[in-house]
Amino acid sequence: MKMNVIVKTLIVGGVCVASMACQSKKSAETAVVVEEKPKVTTEVVNLQDVEQQSTFTGNVEGFAVNNITPQQPRRIARLLVDVGDHVRAGQKLAEMENSALAQAKAQYDNNKANFERADELYKFGGESKANWESMKTAYEVSKLTYENMLENTSLISPISGLVTARNYDVGDMVVASPIFVVQQINPVKIYINVSESLYSYIKKGMSVDVELDAIPEKKFEGKVSRITPLIDPQTRTFEVELTVANGKEEIKPGMYARATMSYGSRKNVVVPDRAVVKMMGSGDRFIYVLKADGTVSYQKVELGRRMNDKYEILSGIADGDEVVTSGQVALKDGIAVERVNE
């Protein structure tokens, strides 16, 4: 009797276990897994007039640069200016030692006096022509000798400008380097290298906006003053000279400059910068475009100008395309998405 009870219990227990397993299996078969679509925001983009600009960099240079140095090696007797001084054309900057100068001056003065006396006598027949010509020659030779020595002794600035370098002290023997460098800094020049693709757009006389790191609060206006007619085969660029007025002499040689040039406008699609995705490991840029069927397409694009928080698109996106502006992390090409624009 006791054994029968045990058997019945096991049978009932088995039935219960089997019943639970069947119910669990039925529930698993009837369960439906719903995969949530990635949520994105989008924006319809259009063609816009985009002003064409390019920015180039260069260093400021003096409009004219003059190296002040004697014609022959000489020792410095006096320095009359220093770095940072403004000088005018014709101003004496330095004097060089020359022991023969005094003797040359005395010889010149003596020959000059003799010739002037002989010239007066010759006018009235009191001096022979041969003697007059001899004294005239001696006077002219001594004058030239003295002037050459004087020129090599007193160093004169040929231009007005700023002394930007001094390489010697009083008593030094000048051999190779100039004593002073004088630069004309009103106006100044900036040289930039421009892509050959822009050659037909750059014109002599066109205006250029110039910004300087050293003077960040101010913009200067420059002009294209020279265009080199040759393209560098290595860099595929050509050199352009810019001239910038510098009446207050705020701009100094050596300053780092950014020159922005505008050359017309063209119609291109403009997109928010947050729509542009950079591919890891490459310089390629992509944009997800929402299609009519609710899926997204991964489009490679070519960027043009950046304008604050927007990009000009040169290729890859069409007028009227709806581009994804957020949620790109969860996306891949062809995936269905849910638009959640406000």
Percent pLDDT > 90 in the chain is 67
Kindly tell me if the per-residue pLDDT of 21 is higher than 50: no
What is the pLDDT, as a whole number, of residue 5? 38
- Is residue 257 located within the same domain as residue 273? no
Domain that holds residue 260: 55-61+188-264
List, for residues 179-221, the tens digit of each pLDDT value.
999 999 999 999 999 999 999 999 999 999 999 999 999 999 9
> Average pLDDT, stretch 275-304?
92
- CATH number for the domain harbouring residue 316: 2.40.420.20
Q: What is the CATH number of the domain that holds 197?
A: 2.40.30.170
Predicted confidence (pLDDT) at residue 22 exceeds the cutoff of 50: no
Structural domain contains residue 146: yes
Q: Which of 120, 147, 174 is the last residue of a domain?
A: 174
In a domain, 23, yes or no: no
Amino acid 35: pLDDT: 73
Mean pLDDT of 66-76: 88
322 in any annotated domain: yes
Q: Are 42 and 325 in contact (CB under 8 A)?
A: yes
More confident residue, 98 or 58: 58
Establish if 308 belongs to a structural domain. yes
The predicted-structure confidence for 147-174, as pLDDT tens digits, reads as follows: 877 777 889 999 999 999 999 999 999 9
Instruction: Note the pLDDT tens digit of each residue in 265-277.
Output: 889 999 999 999 9
Tokens 């039925």 belong to 26
pLDDT at 3: 40
- Domain C-terminal end among 123, 150, 174: 174
Residue 8 domain flag: no
E strands of 37-174, at which residues? 39-44, 46-68, 74-79, 86-87, 92-96, 154-156, 161-166, 173-174
Tell me how many domains the chain contains.
3
Last residue of a domain, one of 206, 237, 264: 264
Residue 122 has what DSSP assignment?
H
Interatomic CA distance for residues 55 and 222, integer angstroms: 13
Question: What does DSSP say about strands 39-44 and 338-339: parallel, antiparallel, or unpaired?
Answer: parallel
Residues in the chain: 342
Q: Please report whether residue 295 resides in a domain.
A: yes
Q: Do 169 and 76 have their domain in common? A: yes
Q: Does the residue 145 lie in any domain?
A: yes
User: How much of the chain exceeds pLDDT 70, in percent?
Assistant: 90
| Residue 243 sits in the same domain as residue 272 | no
pTM as predicted: 0.64
Considering the domain boundaries, does residue 108 fall inside one? yes
Residues 272 and 256 in one domain: no
Pair 100, 118 in one domain:
yes
176: number of Cβ within 10 Å: 7
Mean pLDDT of the 67-76 span: 87
